[in-house]
Structure 1
Amino acid sequence: MSEKRKYRQFTVEQKTEVVLAGLRGDRSVRDVCREYEISETLYYSWRDKLLEGGKVALANPQTRTPEHAEIAELKKKVASLERSLGRKTYELDVAGELSRDWT
């Protein structure tokens, strides 16, 4: 019978603390990993994710990701369609008033 292995769960705050401890430079990454009982591979994975997240957070809002560009384009389309709908609604109101005047 095999037992299911239990993995420790780290919170975001714990992961950040570990990565920052390694980035401070007052001790080696190996020592930090030993203290927190994690592998160096896991440490570097967390570090890369933290740094990548920081890049996204600091990026210019206009150039963050392709998704942001797509959202901006869709917002422009919605605004254009709303303006067109407004014009057509106005035209129908005017046409209705004119047709009432003919009778």
Structure 2
Amino acid sequence: MPEGSAEKHVKDGRCKTRREFSAEEKIRIVLEGMRGEYSIAELCRREGLAQRLYYIWWEEFLEAGNKRLSGDTERQATSGEVTGLKREMCDLKEVVADLTL
């Protein structure tokens, strides 16, 4: 067996057992838990996630709502926006350099 293949199998196993949830799925699960039709334990068992993870999402959900309702509209820039701003900054620096000369 080649060196490193055991590590690859362990890593592959972890990746297959870890499920990625989209933002929409997280919101749906948190709202379903808030409705109270099922216990949190039952909901988490059905969705295949740890209860602690549910409560982390729940706290983030409430915090985001609180920020939004208090008027905080700050958000993270997308990579496309950052690239565009960097390009614009370079263009402006060139104009300043030309004007200075």
**Structure 1 length-normalised TM:** 0.57
In the other structure, the counterpart of 1:19 is 30
1:30-73 deviation digits (Å, cap 9, x = unpaired): 010011000000000000000000000100x3xx49x8xxxxxx
CA distance in 2, matches of 1:8, 1:27: 22
RMSD: 1.7
Pair 1:51 & 2:35 matched: no
CA distance in 2, matches of 1:13, 1:27: 19
Return the index of the structure with the highest Cα Rg: 1
In the other structure, the counterpart of 2:53 is 42
In the other structure, the counterpart of 1:85 is none
**Structure 2 length-normalised TM:** 0.58
* More relative contact order, 1 or 2 (CA 8 Å, 6+ apart): 2
1:20 corresponds to which letter in structure 2? L
Offset, 1:27 = 1.2
In the other structure, the counterpart of 2:42 is 31
- Would you say how many aligned residue pairs link Structure 1 and Structure 2? 63
**Structure 1: any 5+ residue segments left out of the alignment?**
68-103
Q: Secondary structure at the match of 2:49?
A: coil
**Structure 2: any 5+ residue segments left out of the alignment?**
1-5, 75-101
Identity %: 38
